[in-house]
Amino acid sequence: MAAGRMEFHARTINQHTNFCFVLPNDIETDEVFDKRHYEREPLNLILLHGLTGTDTDWLYGGNAQEMAIQYNLNIFMPTTGNTFYLNKGYEGGQYADYIGEELPAYISSTFGIELSRENTMIGGLSMGGYGAIHTALAFPDHFNACIALSSAIHMRTIVDEMKYSDGGVISVEQSREIFGDPDKLLDSDKNPEVQVHKLLEVGTKMPRFYLACGTEDDLIDANRSFGAFLKEQNADCIFEEGPGGHNWTFWNQYLNRGLKALLA
């Protein structure tokens, strides 16, 4: 296995930024539970961190290396700060474009790995779960599947916090910087439900979705609601919930369950 951390200058966000990687390029299959995954070429997974996190989270807190081994995955873990992986609308602040376009292109040119829709997934936890959903819907030609865990998909709560309170996990000022005018948020492309409707209107094929959230997580209602919404739109979606909170014990278990379900 090859693992490491790289830094490069990303044009879309106008800064030097890091990403970690794990490549299962010399695995002894005796340690693999289902050897069928090694009857094909490696697949690719871009895996996003949560709020206050960084590119090393899935290595040190998560089970990225084990998942790369078990499922024959090239895993790439970028960092963008607390941006929710959204475009800000100006040059140097295009974080969705970085995750959905520039990073995959850089990986392809640097590692000689082709990242096509057919062989590439995106996933994440919490803020990264939202980012994975938003990016998959913004670039449906680049990703065939999305794994979103404990996703910060509580758009109506975010609006209420910006309008009627002092904020939630992040301040009102930071929320406004990220999401813009709360009166416009629910009708904007920052709302994944709007993204889904737009793709359906033009007949674009959507990625497959695996969503999961812990029953003791404050985000459970929002995740249940979004899972039900996707199924109402006839999207290819699996939603699971189980005992657990907003923590690595849950995320590691359900990343494994998500990959097993999508790669069965």
Give the number of domains in the chain.
Answer: 1
SS3 208: strand
**What is the tens place of the pLDDT at every residue in 3-42?**
999 999 999 999 999 999 999 998 888 889 999 999 999 9
Q: How far apart are CA 137 and CA 96, in angstroms?
A: 11
CB 123 within 8 A of CB 50: no
- Residue 108 confidence (pLDDT) above 90: yes
**What is the tens place of the pLDDT at every residue in 139-181?**
999 999 999 999 999 999 999 999 888 777 889 999 999 999 9
DSSP 128-156: HHHHHHHHHHH-TTT-SEEEEES----HH
CA distances in angstroms from 90 to 72, 97, 167, 254, listed in the order given: 37, 11, 25, 36
pLDDT recorded at residue 183 = 96
**What is the tens place of the pLDDT at every residue in 207-260?**
999 999 999 999 999 999 999 999 999 999 999 999 999 999 999 999 999 999
pLDDT recorded at residue 20 = 98
Give the CATH number of the domain where residue 80 resides.
Answer: 3.40.50.1820
Structural domain containing residue 86: 2-262
Spatial CA neighbour of 122 closest among 150, 105, 99, 93 = 99
Report pTM. Answer: 0.97
Q: Give the mean pLDDT of the chain.
A: 96
pLDDT recorded at residue 253 = 98
pLDDT recorded at residue 249 = 98
**What is the tens place of the pLDDT at every residue in 94-105?**
999 999 999 999
